[in-house]
Structure 1
Amino acid sequence: MTPEPFSPPGTDESMAGPPPGCPAHGIGPGGARRLYGPEAEDLGAVYEKLRAEHGTVAPALLHEDVPMWVVLGHSENLHMVSSPSLYSRDNRLWTALQDGTIKPDHPLMPHMAWQPICCFAEGDEHLRLRGAVTGAMSTIDHRGIRRHINRATQHLVNKFCEEGRADLVGQFAEHLPMAVMCEILGMPEEYNDRIVQAARDMLKGTETAIASNAYIMDTLTRLTARRRAEPEDDFTSHLINHPAGLTDEEVGQHLRVVLIVAFESTANLLANVLRVVLTDPGFRAQLNGGQMTVPQAVEQSLWDEPPFSTILGYFAKQDTELGGQRIRQGDGLLLGIAPGNVDPRVRPDPSANMMGNRSHLAFSGGPHECPGQDIGRAIADVGVDALLSRLPDVQLACEEDELRWRASISNRHLVELPVYFEPKPQQDVKALPGHAPVPSQRKDWQIGTMQSEPPAAAPKPQPAAPPRQAAPAPAEPARPKGAWRRFRLWWRGY
């Protein structure tokens, strides 16, 4: 049902905006703003207009003018995702789907189509499916994965370090998450350029997206069959053998969700962190000077540019109220991650440093909170740190305003991030870092109280000798690593 029009207090409704239905101004039927079209190219600005006009929950229109509430407030988003008795992720409850407002060929149907996976399940079925996913996640060796992330980073950097130029999106940010996820799922041999391209293509909605999705599913179906017959110590085997007893179809569909969501979100996170490092001198100075760690830089990026700006969607199970708006049973609501992160009530200054604050909405919340967020953080933390250690002089190879973005209602990601640096030699990705020798222990050390020594005999006079140059001072023994360096090596998994 279409959200009721709302006029801010003290305004003349006839003068509040352009005539209803005027596409040039992004206004649709009922005066609601469109989240698509030319005027919605900067959705951040659209969300702020909606906040000014309607408050923390606003009516809007999806493609083909499908009505949808947009939740803009931080606390309102948290309330929605944490109230399964009021709001469900099962879109079969959506009135727009039930009454045929949304046609089978709707542009967002690939994102909205119901599937028998934990993302859309509720109640006992959600507990069964989600329990299998989180149970398999709990078996991941996080320290071992950090070592693999570091090795994968070194391998990727080796491919372009001698060139002195690179695209850190196409040659790094899009490849590292896929390499790591293939390792976690138990199919490292499947990692290649094709699977990276297929994962990116299927999310673009291109003419080849269906074929790309088929390729991904074929790969995961074969993996499921192999691990059903010969289980190993990997995520897929633990998912199959979980007491929840998932069918092969359920296993394959959950592997697809885990792989694609982790790939897309972490690729965006990596690109966003690296972009800020390359374009914000103050941010980079804090990072280089030790005032900010890489994990803190990652959290700042999750506030400023979350990998997913919105999630479609939640659906009202009964008539209720949210943010002063009347929500009817069957209404759809958009989880507003990006607008919620800049809610003036929790962040009066959008440019404020949020160091140490993890209350952002980047990983959603409630029963459907992202179960793999620690893996995403690890890929970004280790990957960015290892890349900057290899290429400390890396610089952006274009003006910041020349960077190109591809935006949709769900996210905004960089098309490319061109950089240059002094060419570097390749490194052995399997070699452990060298350890400085520890100076040998003195043999004349004693434990206990100091003993007095007998007075030395007076030296005998010696004949004068011709002057000579002083002998060079003996070289100091190599210093052992400091606590900070030892901690960094441990953090990277060595």
Structure 2
Amino acid sequence: MTDQTPNGPDAPGGCPVAHGGTDPARLYGPEAATDPHGIYERLRKEHGSVAPVLLEGDVPAWLVLGYRDNRRVLDNPRQYSRDARIWRDWQAGRVEETSPLVPMLAWRPDCVSQDGEPHRRLRGAVTDGLLAASARGVRRHATHFANQQIDAFADAGQADLVADYAEYLPMLVLTRILGLPAAEGRSLVESCAQVLKGGEGALAHNDRIVHILGELAERRRVEPGSDFTTALLEHPAGLDPDEVVSHLRLVLIAAHTTTSNLLARVLQLVLTDDYRLVGLVSGQLNISAVVEEVMWNAPPLAVLPGRFAATDLELGGHLIKEGDLLVLGLAPGNADPEVRPDPEVSVQGNQSHLAFSAGPHECPGQNIGQSIVEIGVDILLHRLPGLRLAVSPEELSSTASTWESRLDSLPVEFPV
């Protein structure tokens, strides 16, 4: 499903191309993995609030860097559709079916791939199911699994709060929400990470997730439970089998990867700043304020896929052609100097960040994710008095993919 037509000024369909004589930046590869923010800022200086970029496989796209332009795209689905079936490079066969971009960008029978009435129908089922799950004790599940994870390393006097805690806590809570066995949830952590990471294994891991969730849906058809899966199966919207599995996949991947990343970043901020650590332990500082700060400065998804131009239009001074792919720069949008001229000024109480997207497709499960993070931090700090970073803050490192930047590790030590 691919050809070798180059993307350039004369490429069919008018794909995004270089402006000002420079090649589009790659949002993958060694530089993107180690310094994505450097790429964002360089692109902002060269191109303004919208810039041409290349995704894996040198697939062209527009990266939206400006806060206001991000909102313009997110708030206007008639102009910027979520329906990947209008993606011109896909229609023309310039994106292979085996591309690692497929799990993140291809059309699926889920609410994020639809606009208008189809979106409202499916989104309603998801929202109702998540509300019911939240009412059945997300905070209780988060408390249970946070203590369980801490029990595993509490006597060791040391831990890696990424590998031993943040990577697993959200998934374990999700197993209860979806109706999965906890052991199965643990095995899905790696698959979710690989889908976001991209590369050769992305499609195989995506297929594995779909297979496991398909089996879950079949079990719940025979034996209903008080879980999100059963709620989708029984919803008045009448979801078909593919729609049910697609939404289970959507919730699993989106909720786990974003919440685990957010939890790790909040813990990083707390453990590298004595003021915040002491304030949280003493109760003088509200954990919600710290979470909000991280959502501004290190949103769990740095770049959100994707929107497709429904017609020729102008954005950020650039001509966007019908069928062009746009990816939303949530991290650079939050750092846009037009809305944050002084990044050191406190954002406390300001919830207008882009971390949960915006518009009709704004994340419907954000309250669940925030609850898991807040409980995870609170229990950890009170279970392990004297918790401190085991290395200097400068030694902490991150690895980025196109879509996110994840903390590699967070080694800590504590008295036993």
1:116-127 pair list within 5 angstroms? 116-127=109-120
Return the letter of the residue paired with 1:3.
P
Determine whether 1:362 maps to 2:359: no
Contact 2:83 2:113 in 1 (8 A): yes
Contact 1:57 1:325 in 2 (8 A): yes
Aligned residue in 2 for 1:73: 66
CA–CA distance in structure 2, aligned partners of residues 127 and 313 of structure 1: 19
CA–CA distance in structure 2, aligned partners of residues 214 and 68 of structure 1: 25
Contact 2:100 2:199 in 1 (8 A): no
Aligned residue in 1 for 2:310: 317
CA deviations 1:45-65 (Å, max 9, x no partner) are 111111122221222222343
Contact 1:89 1:120 in 2 (8 A): yes
Aligned residue in 1 for 2:229: 236
Indicate the SS of the match to 1:166.
strand
Aligned residue in 2 for 1:469: none
CA–CA distance in structure 2, aligned partners of residues 405 and 296 of structure 1: 23
1:197-208 pair list within 5 angstroms? 197-205=190-198
Alignment length, in residue pairs?
Answer: 402
Aligned residue in 2 for 1:272: 265
Change over 3 Å in CA distance of 1:384–1:143 after alignment to 2: farther
CA–CA distance in structure 1, aligned partners of residues 142 and 273 of structure 2: 26
CA–CA distance in structure 1, aligned partners of residues 195 and 123 of structure 2: 24
CA–CA distance in structure 2, aligned partners of residues 206 and 57 of structure 1: 26
Contact 2:98 2:203 in 1 (8 A): no
Contact 1:178 1:191 in 2 (8 A): no
Aligned residue in 2 for 1:374: 367
C-alpha displacement of 1:296: 1.0
CA–CA distance in structure 2, aligned partners of residues 369 and 281 of structure 1: 34
CA–CA distance in structure 2, aligned partners of residues 191 and 417 of structure 1: 25
1:23-62 pair list within 5 angstroms? 28=23, 32-40=24-32, 41-62=34-55
CA–CA distance in structure 2, aligned partners of residues 4 and 325 of structure 1: 11
Aligned to 2:92, which of 84, 95, 99? 99
Return the letter of the residue paired with 1:46.
I
CA deviations 1:405-426 (Å, max 9, x no partner) are 2211100101221111012xxx
Change over 3 Å in CA distance of 1:209–1:323 after alignment to 2: closer
Aligned residue in 1 for 2:406: 413
Aligned to 2:327, which of 327, 334, 338? 334
Aligned residue in 1 for 2:376: 383
Instruction: Tell which deviates more after alignment, 346-355 or 249-258.
Output: 346-355
CA–CA distance in structure 2, aligned partners of residues 219 and 2 of structure 1: 37
C-alpha displacement of 1:190: 4.3
C-alpha displacement of 1:123: 2.1
Q: TM-score, normalized by length of structure 1?
A: 0.77
C-alpha displacement of 1:87: 0.6
C-alpha displacement of 1:202: 4.2
CA–CA distance in structure 2, aligned partners of residues 355 and 250 of structure 1: 39
C-alpha displacement of 1:400: 2.3
Return the letter of the residue paired with 2:286.
T
Determine whether 1:172 maps to 2:165: yes
Instruction: Tell which deviates more after alignment, 67-76 or 171-180.
Output: 67-76
Instruction: Tell which deviates more after alignment, 102-111 or 43-52.
Output: 102-111
Aligned residue in 2 for 1:262: 255
Aligned residue in 2 for 1:24: none
Indicate the SS of the match to 2:323.
coil
C-alpha displacement of 1:217: 2.6
CA deviations 1:349-385 (Å, max 9, x no partner) are 2233211111000010111111111100000011111
Structure with greater helix share of residues: 2
Contact 2:271 2:389 in 1 (8 A): yes
Larger gyration radius, structure 1 or structure 2: 1
Return the letter of the residue paired with 1:36.
Y
CA–CA distance in structure 2, aligned partners of residues 219 and 202 of structure 1: 15
Return the letter of the residue paired with 1:170.
A
C-alpha displacement of 1:5: 4.8
Change over 3 Å in CA distance of 1:391–1:186 after alignment to 2: same
CA deviations 1:439-465 (Å, max 9, x no partner) are xxxxxxxxxxxxxxxxxxxxxxxxxxx
CA–CA distance in structure 1, aligned partners of residues 313 and 99 of structure 2: 28
Contact 1:70 1:334 in 2 (8 A): yes
Unaligned 5+ runs, structure 2: 1-13
1:153-232 pair list within 5 angstroms? 153-191=146-184, 193-205=186-198, 209-232=202-225
Instruction: Tell which deviates more after alignment, 364-373 or 92-101.
Output: 92-101
Contact 2:81 2:308 in 1 (8 A): yes
Aligned to 2:103, which of 110, 113, 121? 110
Aligned residue in 2 for 1:2: 15
**RMSD of aligned residue pairs (Cα, Å):** 2.0
C-alpha displacement of 1:93: 1.2
CA–CA distance in structure 2, aligned partners of residues 213 and 107 of structure 1: 10
Instruction: Tell which deviates more after alignment, 397-406 or 379-388.
Output: 397-406
Change over 3 Å in CA distance of 1:152–1:365 after alignment to 2: same
Contact 1:179 1:191 in 2 (8 A): no
Indicate the SS of the match to 1:100.
coil
Q: TM-score, normalized by length of structure 2?
A: 0.90
Unaligned 5+ runs, structure 1: 8-19, 21-26, 424-494
CA deviations 1:381-400 (Å, max 9, x no partner) are 11111111111311111222
Determine whether 1:394 maps to 2:407: no
CA deviations 1:150-194 (Å, max 9, x no partner) are 121111111100110111111110111011111111224445532
Contact 1:311 1:334 in 2 (8 A): yes
Aligned residue in 1 for 2:6: none
Return the letter of the residue paired with 1:80.
V
